[in-house]
Amino acid sequence: GAVVSQHPSRVICKSGTSVKIECRSLDFQATTMFWYRQFPKQSLMLMATSNEGSKATYEQGVEKDKFLINHASLTLSTLTVTSAHPEDSSFYICSARDYRAGNEKLFFGSGTQLSVL
Amino acid sequence: EDKVVQSPLSLVVHEGDTVTLNCSYEVTNFRSLLWYKQEKKAPTFLFMLTSSGIEKKSGRLSSILDKKELFSILNITATQTGDSAVYLCAVTFSGNTPLVFGKGTRLSVIA
């Protein structure tokens, strides 16, 4: 099945630093990837839709200057949390849809646990 | 506003019990409903349902969709401790749009 790779799996950083999270589709091309955030014991909340070669679409309440998304190729999207603060500590998950052979399932990366001290 | 509602929010059962998890939705341009299991990390795919009344089955898990009443159920028979997880229901729409997730049902299976 389709594979989505996300790196790193865990990050601990100081307040004020920036953190980059990578999401790769390993065996298919993903023109669109989705970034979700999940707080403890809560569901996945969509942050933004990453479009290859164009600007990302952010959900209401998500600061685009704080969560920079770049989708420079058909297999890679990156999320950069700029000037991270403790309230940004969360589990971040990327996902992509594999449309080959009519497959519309959404596949997830393994997630990144961000802890900002 | 599109809504996906799961119930119950949490459930504790003993090994061997059968459980039924519920997911109802109110959305426009419905395309399919998906069930995921989430343990410690990212969700893993269980089922995708697009047609009413057709049961999908995988081992002890099964699921069915009712597009008239706008709900789906996920059944787990002969539960095991390894079934303990959060089960997420999500809905997709026409076009390349993201999933909308329910809040999930946290299932705990105790020995």
Taking contacts as CB-CB distances below 8 angstroms, the residues of chain B near A106 are 34, 45, 90, 92, 99
What value does the mean pLDDT of chain B take? 91
C-alpha radius of gyration, chain A, whole number: 14
Rounded CA gap, B82 and B60, in Å? Answer: 12
**Residue B47 distance to chain A (closest CA, Å):** 9
Taking contacts as CB-CB distances below 8 angstroms, the residues of chain A near B102 are 43
Model confidence pLDDT, tens digit, residues A24-48: 999 888 888 999 998 887 888 899 9
What is the per-residue pLDDT for B30?
A: 87
Q: Which among B2, B23, B30, B38 is the top mutation candidate for probing chain A, defined by the most A β-carbons within 10 Å of its own β-carbon?
A: B38
Rounded CA gap, B39 and B85, in Å? Answer: 5
DSSP state of A27: S
Model confidence pLDDT, tens digit, residues B44-90: 889 989 888 889 999 999 999 999 999 999 999 999 999 999 999 99
Rounded CA gap, A7 and B16, in Å? Answer: 38
Rounded CA gap, A26 and A80, in Å? Answer: 20
Band of pLDDT at residue A53, cut at 50, 70 and 90: confident
Strands B105-110 and B10-14: what pairing? parallel
Read off the tokens for B32.
């399919």
Which of B11, B14, B1 lies closest to B81, judged by CA? B14
What is the per-residue pLDDT for A68?
A: 95
Least confident of A95-109, B14-28, B82-96: A95-109
